[in-house]
Amino acid sequence: MFKSTTNDLDDDARHAGIGPRSRLVPNAVGIVLIAAGLTLVVTMLRSAFRIDEVNRSPPLALLVDPAEMLQQEQALAGAFATGDDEGDRAIVIDVGGKIRLQELGPHGIVQFEMASAFLLGRRDRKLYLAVANGGQIEAANRDTLIYYRDTYHRTH
């Protein structure tokens, strides 16, 4: 009869490619693939929840020179509006850092008004009004303001 020993079985298994070393490679590849997949999922989730950081504008460099602040406030002082129909909006800028955001009702009558303070600042050489209640109004020129992608033109 045939006599089998443990060493003979180990030699046969090694020659057939089913020994402990041959199982180690597929296990390592599987672990690497799982780790790579988890890394991709974590990266996707982190970027999905950081949308606010991506869309955030760079900070304004506030004006600190009192003479320049007064000059810019005087140049911008006045009323601006998106139109004169019901539902249009208006912005009234006063010298001294006060601003009024308005919504017009029928016949151009102010239906809603919110008063706030503002600070002047620059970003990329453009002048902005940083409103205390939130938002930044771009002063495209002395007769045009842009607020939340709406264009306001000087009315008087």
Look at residue 19 in the predicted model and tell me its pLDDT.
Answer: 53
Selecting from 2.60.40, 3.30.2320, 2.40.128, 1.25.10, what CATH number does the domain 61-154 have? Answer: 2.40.128
What SS3 state is found at 7? helix
Q: Per DSSP, which regions of 2-154 are E strands?
A: 61-62, 78-81, 89-94, 98-104, 110-123, 126-131, 136-141, 144-147, 150-154
Own/partner contacts of 1-10, CB < 8 Å, gap of 24 or more, are none
Q: For 92, phi and psi rounded to 5 degrees? A: -115, 120
Report field, pTM of the whole predicted structure over 0.75 = no
Average pLDDT along the chain: 84
Question: Is the pLDDT at 20 greater than 70, yes or no?
Answer: no
Look at residue 143 in the predicted model and tell me its pLDDT.
Answer: 96
Look at residue 28 in the predicted model and tell me its pLDDT.
Answer: 79
Look at residue 108 in the predicted model and tell me its pLDDT.
Answer: 81
What SS3 state is found at 153? strand
